């Protein structure tokens, strides 16, 4: 079965063609970064207008790259929640029009859940396909808008175990990058700075958010504020001693040290919640058989390394998406849409765009 996927929930207009739920024949993403850059954040009205202009050219490009005509599509999947309502409406309307005119099934897909599907996608027969996922699995989504843990019992059954109570992890990286004077979107730039030769991740001991005993929720705003105070000083406090800081012995931390120390604390918080979730499940007799991950922050080099380490320690396979499928894309939408269709779940023309996630 060949599924055409559409994704327009935020600031990426994306279309993809996926065969058999896992093989990506094409994945086209038109980023709007240049439109929102000067505002240092996504402007919803600009985003929806840009989606309307780009959605059909992006679909055409995805079909061309897959070498297929519209007539060869078996179903249309669309990310219909959560996201910016104006942006979602563009994708949902386009998907309905395409499915209706082709006489093919339409299926709505939750964008956050779809991030957890990105790790099972592969590109062609020659690249090693990831193994089938054994359920139940633990799922971690860390992106610019979402930070959640899920218990995934099948591709149709997701239970949210916890979520951020303030900033999303990617949002915290972006704000931290702004504090450090890095360009938007900051997450990848902070990652690069933290990996510079000589960066000392022990330069500043930032707090690792635990929240209540046993809590599976996340909090990143305290870490962000700690970074702000470490870099600029605590308001009202005596001025910090020392000068510019190049990170040498006895000198104040350099920007790369702040970046590495911040990244270390942020990753430690995510790993801590994964371990807690595994232990909490074991206490109720549930043994996870895999860890699914996704969202823009799973592109982070340190987080990827630590996820693999925790998986090895717990004897669990970790599904890490390829870098281009960590961030928003339509291949993950087409893939999870395929699984919904296979489970007999199909939507009708009443499918609506919804700003919130399903659970």
Binding site for ligand KG4 (CB under 6 A): 10, 143-145, 170-171, 173-174, 185-188, 191, 295-297, 299-300, 327-328
Hey, which residues does 135 pair with through a beta bridge?
none
For residue 164, the cross-strand partners are 218
**CB-wise, 346 or 358, nearer to ligand KG4?**
358
73 or 266, CB closer to ligand KG4? 266
Give min distance, CB of 107 to ligand KG4, in A: 20
Binding partner of residue 257 among Zn ion, ligand KG4, none, CB cut-off 5 to 8 Å per kind: none
**Residue 201 binding Zn ion, by CB under 5 A:** no
In whole angstroms, give the CA distance from residue 28 to residue 50: 15
Cβ neighbours of residue 77 closer than 8 Å, sequence gap 6 or more: 3, 4, 5, 6, 95, 106, 107, 108, 109, 333, 334, 336, 337, 338, 340, 341
Residue 63 or 319 with smaller CB distance to ligand KG4 = 319
**By CB under 5 A, which span of 180-188, 271-279, 328-336, 347-355 interacts with Zn ion?**
328-336
Q: Give yes or no for residue 328 binding Zn ion (CB under 5 A).
A: yes
Cα separation values, 119 from 98, 218, 225, 289, 312, Å: 27, 22, 32, 15, 17
Q: Which is nearer to ligand KG4, 108 or 252 (CB)?
A: 108
Q: What tokens appear for 355 in the block? A: 């700003």
Q: What angle do CA 103, 109, 114 make, to 5 degrees?
A: 135
CB of 230 to ligand KG4, least distance (A): 19
- The span from the CA of 14 to the CA of 62, in Å, is 9
Does residue 110 touch Zn ion according to CB under 5 A? no
Nearer to ligand KG4, 2 or 260 (CB): 260
Identify which of residues 63 and 357 has a Cβ nearer to ligand KG4 in the complex: 357
For residues 21 to 50, the per-residue mask of contacts with Zn ion, x marking binding by CB under 5 A and - elsewhere, is: ------------------------------
Cβ partners under 8 Å of residue 179, min gap 6: 224, 227, 228, 231, 232
Which one of Zn ion, ligand KG4, none is in contact with 260 (Cβ closer than 5 to 8 A by kind)? none
Nearer Cβ to ligand KG4 (278/303): 303
CA distances from 131 to 16, 35, 205, 314, 331 (A): 22, 39, 39, 18, 18
How much is the CA Rg of the chain, to the nearest whole Å?
Answer: 21
Residue 151 touches Zn ion, criterion: CB under 5 A? no
Of 87 and 143, nearer to Zn ion (C-beta) is 143
DSSP string, 2-51: EEEEEE-SSSEEEEEEEETTTEEEEEEEEE-HHHHGGGTS--HHHHHHHH
Letters for 273-312 (x = contact with Zn ion by CB under 5 A, - = none) are: ----------------------------------------
Q: Where are the beta strands (DSSP E) in the chain?
A: 2-7, 12-19, 23-31, 75-81, 106-110, 137-142, 147-154, 157-163, 290-294, 318-319
User: Which of ligand KG4, Zn ion, none does residue 188 bind to, with CB < 5 to 8 Å depending on kind?
Assistant: ligand KG4
- The rounded distance, in Å, linking the Cα atoms of 357 and 340 is 16
Listed ranges 34-42, 159-167, 229-237, 326-334: which one lies at the site for Zn ion (CB under 5 A): 326-334
Spatial distance between the Cα atoms of 49 and 8, rounded to a whole number of angstroms: 11
Chosen from ligand KG4, Zn ion, none, partner binding at 24 (C-beta under 5 to 8 Å by type) = none
247 binds, among Zn ion, ligand KG4, none (CB under 5 to 8 A by kind): none
Shortest distance in whole angstroms from residue 186 CB to ligand KG4: 6
Within residues 126-145, the interface with Zn ion by CB under 5 A covers 143
| Contact in structure between 356 and 84 (CB atoms under 8 Å) | no
Chain residues binding Zn ion by CB under 5 A are 143, 328
């Amino acid at each position: 079965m060949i599924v055409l996927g559409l994704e327009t929930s935020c600031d990426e207009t994306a279309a993809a063609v996926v065969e058999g739920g896992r093989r990506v024949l094409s994945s086209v993403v038109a980023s709007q970064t240049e439109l929102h850059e000067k505002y240092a954040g996504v402007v919803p009205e600009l985003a929806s207008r840009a989606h309307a202009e780009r959605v059909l050219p992006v679909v055409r490009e995805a079909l061309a790259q897959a070498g297929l005509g519209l007539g060869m599509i078996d179903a249309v999947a669309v990310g219909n929640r959560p996201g910016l309502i104006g942006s979602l409406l563009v994708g949902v309307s386009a998907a309905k029009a395409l499915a209706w005119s082709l006489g093919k099934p339409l299926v709505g897909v939750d964008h956050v859940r779809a991030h957890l599907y990105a790790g099972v996608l592969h590109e062609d027969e020659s690249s090693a396909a990831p193994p089938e996922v054994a359920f139940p699995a633990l799922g971690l989504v860390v992106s610019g808008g979402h930070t959640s843990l899920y218990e995934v019992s099948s591709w149709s059954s997701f239970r949210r175990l916890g979520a951020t109570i303030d900033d999303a992890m990617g949002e915290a990286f972006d704000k931290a990058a702004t504090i450090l004077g890095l360009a938007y979107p900051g997450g990848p730039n902070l990652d690069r700075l933290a990996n510079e030769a000589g960066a000392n991740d022990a330069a500043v001991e930032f707090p690792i958010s635990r929240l209540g005993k046993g809590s599976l929720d996340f909090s990143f705003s305290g870490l962000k504020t700690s970074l702000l105070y470490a870099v600029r000083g605590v308001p009202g406090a005596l001025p910090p001693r020392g000068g510019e800081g190049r990170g040498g012995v006895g000198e104040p931390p350099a920007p790369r040290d702040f970046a590495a120390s911040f990244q270390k604390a942020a990753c430690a918080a995510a790993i801590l919640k994964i371990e807690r979730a595994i232990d909490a499940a074991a206490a109720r007799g549930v043994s996870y058989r895999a860890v699914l991950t996704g969202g823009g922050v799973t592109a982070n080099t340190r987080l990827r390394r630590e996820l693999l380490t925790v998986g090895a320690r717990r004897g669990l396979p970790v599904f890490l998406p390829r870098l281009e499928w960590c961030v928003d894309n339509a291949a993950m939408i087409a893939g999870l849409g395929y699984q919904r269709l296979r489970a007999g779940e199909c939507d009708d023309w009443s499918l609506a765009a919804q700003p919130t996630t399903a659970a």
